[in-house]
Each structure stands twice: as C-alpha cells, then as structure tokens.
C-alpha cells in the first residue's frame, strides 16, 4: 500500500515569513501534484511535477520533486494571509491511481 506523509500537519506563521512543507513516501511516483484547498471548496491544482529533481516556481511558491521521485517540497516566500489553506500532495503510481497525503494546514496571520 502506498502512503504519502505530509509534514508539518499544522503550521501557523506571521505574514512575511517563509515556510517549507514536505511530502514524503517510500514509493516512487510517476508524477506528483500539489493542491490548495480552502474551507468549503474543492482542491485547486497548483502544480504537477514529473521529472526527478524538477523545480517549478509559481510566483512566491517553489515546488521541488525529489531526485528519486519519492518526495517533494513546497516552499513559500513572504507568506500572505491569502496563502492560508490546506495544502495537499498527491502521487500518481504510473497508472490512473492517485494517492493523497493528509495535508498541511497553513494559517498565515496578518
């Protein structure tokens, strides 16, 4: 059974701070996705990473896929209250199955 772990589970920071959240597994994935979910809404796709070692930037967000394609990180620079939400990672196991992590709940205080 494939499992994705995310850390930290909860994170509360002040506006302007930097942060990194992690997504780890013992399994190899063909691709990995990061989503942000706000209360009462569905997850919204932020990025898909495919190549081991790949780094993608989305404004203040930087995503990295581990060389072995088992882990990923999301770094946010100068966090803003609008970044508040549940950050979910999901891995594709070379087929059509997606495994989700439990999420990191981020709160950015003004």
Partner 1 sequence: NAGVMQNPRHLVRRRGQEARLRCSPMKGHSHVYWYRQLPEEGLKFMVYLQKENIIDESGMPKERFSAEFPKEGPSILRIQQVVRGDSAAYFCASSPEIAGADTQYFGPGTRLTVL
Task: Note the residue count of the chain.
Answer: 110
The owner of tokens 């495919």 is 50
CB of 3 to partner 1, least distance (A): 11
* Residue 38: DSSP 8-state: -
Cβ-based nearer residue to partner 1, 84 or 92? 92
CA distance 68 to 65: 8
**Residues in the site for partner 1, rule: CB under 8 A?**
30-31, 33, 35, 40-45, 48, 50, 88, 90, 92, 94-103, 105
Cβ-based nearer residue to partner 1, 76 or 90? 90
């Amino acid at each position: 059974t494939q499992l994705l772990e995310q850390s930290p589970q909860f994170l509360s920071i002040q506006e302007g701070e930097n942060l990194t959240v992690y997504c780890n597994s013992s399994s190899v994935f063909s691709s990995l996705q990061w989503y942000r979910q706000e209360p009462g809404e569905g997850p919204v796709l932020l990025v898909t990473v495919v190549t081991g070692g790949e780094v993608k930037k989305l404004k203040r967000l930087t995503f990295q896929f581990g060389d072995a394609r088992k882990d990923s990180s999301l770094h946010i620079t100068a966090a803003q209250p609008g970044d508040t939400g549940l950050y979910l990672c999901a891995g594709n196991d070379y087929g059509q199955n997606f495994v989700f992590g439990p999420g990191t709940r981020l709160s950015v205080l003004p």
